[in-house]
Amino acid sequence: MSSLDKYTSPVSADTWDVPAAGATRFTWEYDGGRERLLNLYQKGKDKQWDAQTRIDWDLPVDENNPLGLPDEFNPLKGYERYERMPAKELDILRRHNCSWIFSQFLHGEQGAMSVAARVVESVPDLDAKFYAATQVMDEARHVELFSKFANEKIGMLYPINDGLARLLSDALSDGRWDMPYLGMQVLIEGLALATFGVYRDLATNPMVKQLLAFVMQDEARHVAFGRLALRDYYSQITEKERAEREEFVVEGCYLMRDRFQAKEVFERVGLPVDECVKHLETSEIYTIYQSLLFSRIVPCVRDIGLWGDKVQAAYADIGVLDAARSDLDALMRQDEEIAEGFSKAEAEAELDARRQEVDAAVAAGAESD
Ligand SMILES: [Fe+2]
Ligand SMILES: [Fe+2]
């Protein structure tokens, strides 16, 4: 069955074409390269993994609540209409919510794959081209994984959200080499990383926790890449150029804030969109979500030097200025440790199973003696 048949509203069978601009840059300098970037490239090569074998695809998934998200974390909590919803409608809402979230992850990953490929072409230095090439492969594996989960475990897809589509096409069609980088590596990846983190920690389904932890292990490198390369470049641009980048950041962050209201879901399940949005604006859970979602972007934007008055005013307006104090390096170390923890648990379980097999074989042998 084609995945086109699984969308909640019809999507075109034609490709979505975003025109590219700017040059493909070649360099004849094959020597040198920044040590930190080359180390990151080495890590990118060393840490490749295969979703087909690393994820335990046989773990059960509840179709009506694929994430296993406890209801107290629903931002509609407290909204009178939501509180009155019968169990059957709640199941539908949970399934749609999860489908919407994973569909945006999936489309975002496809975007990341294309932007990383674009960065390989357009970035001037070879060390950055090398690193971006490993990221293309990482993103391909993420598309593969989210597509498998959305298609096989949820069985329902949402079209790409308008805000995400706009941010992607703005980033991809800009001829300046750093703009796809800034849009993708800092804004979209930063938001994705934080969102994966929220669901990794809140979801109770073991497969979901596992796959998000593994994807986050890769995404942490991608954000680090954006930081390293852009910090160098932005330390030498003019004030006018900086103002243009800051404007892009402000616009992108408002787009992403609005993106996370999941209005398409309210519309689809027949809830009054305006009332739901109004509830979100005063919801304590939603406010916490939002500050978590910006927890990776804000410190990164500050770190790469795009920290003018307009950017700070926008973050104050969105209510996430405090996130500037987060320790990005500590968060990323933690992401790695959590993913390694899942791998270790997995290896131990495998060892355990093998031990049991050996014991059974020994016992069978003893019996036949
Ligand atoms: Fe990714
Ligand atoms: Fe990524």
Per-residue pLDDT of the chain (369 residues; tens, 9 = 90+): 789 999 998 898 899 999 888 899 999 999 988 898 999 999 999 999 999 999 999 999 998 899 998 888 888 999 999 999 999 999 999 999 999 999 999 999 999 999 999 999 999 999 999 999 999 999 999 999 999 999 999 999 999 998 889 888 988 888 888 998 899 888 988 888 888 998 999 999 999 999 999 999 998 888 888 888 899 899 999 999 999 999 999 998 988 887 677 899 999 999 999 999 999 888 888 888 888 888 889 999 999 999 999 999 999 998 888 888 888 888 888 888 888 887 767 666 666 766 676 677 667 766 666
State the ligand closest to the CA atom of 139: 1
Q: Which of helix, strand or coil describes residue 294?
A: coil
Distance, CA 86 to ligand 1 centroid (Å)?
36
The rounded distance, in Å, linking the Cα atoms of 320 and 104 is 22
Look up the pTM and report it: 0.89
Ordered DSSP codes for 230-293:
HHHHHTTS-HHHHHHHHHHHHHHHHHHHHHTT-HHHHHHTT--HHHHHHHHHH-HHHHHHHHHH
CA proximity to 68, closest of 170, 190, 184, 206: 206
**Counted domains in the chain:** 1
Distance, CA 275 to ligand 2 centroid (Å)?
34
Distance, CA 100 to ligand 2 centroid (Å)?
19
Distance, CA 270 to ligand 1 centroid (Å)?
32
Distance, CA 222 to ligand 2 centroid (Å)?
5
State the ligand closest to the CA atom of 223: 2
State the ligand closest to the CA atom of 132: 2
* AA identity, residue 189: E
Distance, CA 135 to ligand 2 centroid (Å)?
7
127 within 8 A of 41, measured Cβ to Cβ: yes
Listed in sequence order, the residues at least 6 apart from 183 whose beta carbon sits closer than 8 Å to its beta carbon are 115, 167, 168, 170, 171, 172, 174, 248, 252
Whether 26 is in a domain gets the answer no
Distance, CA 144 to ligand 1 centroid (Å)?
10
**Residue 180 is inside which H or E element, if any?**
helix 178-181
Whether 20 is in a domain gets the answer no
Distance, CA 25 to ligand 1 centroid (Å)?
24
* AA identity, residue 257: R
Distance, CA 246 to ligand 2 centroid (Å)?
22
In CATH, what number is assigned to the domain containing residue 318? Answer: 1.10.620.20
Whether 351 is in a domain gets the answer no
CA distance readout (Å), 333 to 111, 116, 300, 322, 328: 26, 23, 15, 21, 9
Distance, CA 81 to ligand 2 centroid (Å)?
37
Distance, CA 333 to ligand 2 centroid (Å)?
16
Whether 337 is in a domain gets the answer no
Whether 58 is in a domain gets the answer yes
199 within 8 A of 139, measured Cβ to Cβ: no
The rounded distance, in Å, linking the Cα atoms of 292 and 219 is 16
For residue 7, the cross-strand partners are 157
Distance, CA 22 to ligand 2 centroid (Å)?
22
Whether 335 is in a domain gets the answer no
Give the position of tokens 């979100």.
280
State the ligand closest to the CA atom of 142: 1
Q: Which domain holds residue 140?
A: 3-9+34-330
Distance, CA 140 to ligand 2 centroid (Å)?
10
Whether 355 is in a domain gets the answer no
Distance, CA 344 to ligand 1 centroid (Å)?
22
Whether 368 is in a domain gets the answer no
Give the position of tokens 């979209």.
188
Distance, CA 192 to ligand 2 centroid (Å)?
8
The confidence score (pLDDT) of residue 33 equals 87
Provide the CA 19 distance to its chain's centre, in angstroms. 24
Q: Which of helix, strand or coil describes residue 73?
A: helix
Distance, CA 110 to ligand 2 centroid (Å)?
10
The rounded distance, in Å, linking the Cα atoms of 164 and 141 is 20
